[in-house]
Amino acid sequence: MFKMLAAGAAAAMLAGCALGVDDGGRRNFEEAFQAPVGAQEALARAQAQMQQCLRGGNDNAVRVLPEQPGGGGRVEVFAPMTNRVLARTEIGEAGAGRAQVRITMLNVGLYDADSAAALRESIEFGVPTCRSYMPRVPADKQAGAR
């Protein structure tokens, strides 16, 4: 019985190790936009939201990797045991008090398009929220508008 439990736990751990936003990107959800705030403020807002909403129930951690001297950087949620990145927000200056933001989510469980939308709203409006409250335009209509 113990051997079966140990084998099951090892298989589950190995399956979890195979997932991360840096593993080919076939599954990832990505979104890029310009935020109406500077890069430093956008970085602080992303960190607050990701710390509050995206750590999950597995003691996932949040790390901030600031860029020098531009004021932008990256915020990542990662699994401490595997160091696999589950969600990433990259921020850079876009000029005139605006930030260029790119959100990448694993698109599994908590790290999906809904979480990315909530993160975007948190960066844009300055209030950390774990749910998106703004209506979204379906992807097929966005593509047709271009």
75 near 89, Cβ under 8 Å?
yes
Q: CA 104, 119, 139: angle at the middle one, nearest 5?
A: 65
What pLDDT, on a 0 to 100 scale, did the predictor assign at position 57?
81
Q: How many helices and strands (H and E) does the chain possess?
A: 4, 5
- Determine whether domain 24-134 maps to CATH 3.40.190: no
Cα angle: 60, vertex 66, 72; to 5 degrees:
115
> According to the model, what pLDDT value does residue 15 have?
41
Q: What is the mean pLDDT of residues 87-111?
A: 94
Characterize the bridge pairing of strands 29-35 and 73-78.
unpaired
Predicted local confidence at residue 2, as pLDDT:
45
The SS3 assignment for 115 reads: helix
Q: Which of 9-13, 67-71, 138-142 is modeled with the greatest confidence?
A: 67-71
- pLDDT tens for each residue of 14-28: 344 457 877 765 789
- Residue-range domain boundaries for the chain: 24-134
- In this prediction the pTM is 0.79
Give the DSSP letter of residue 63: E
| Average pLDDT of span 38-48 | 95
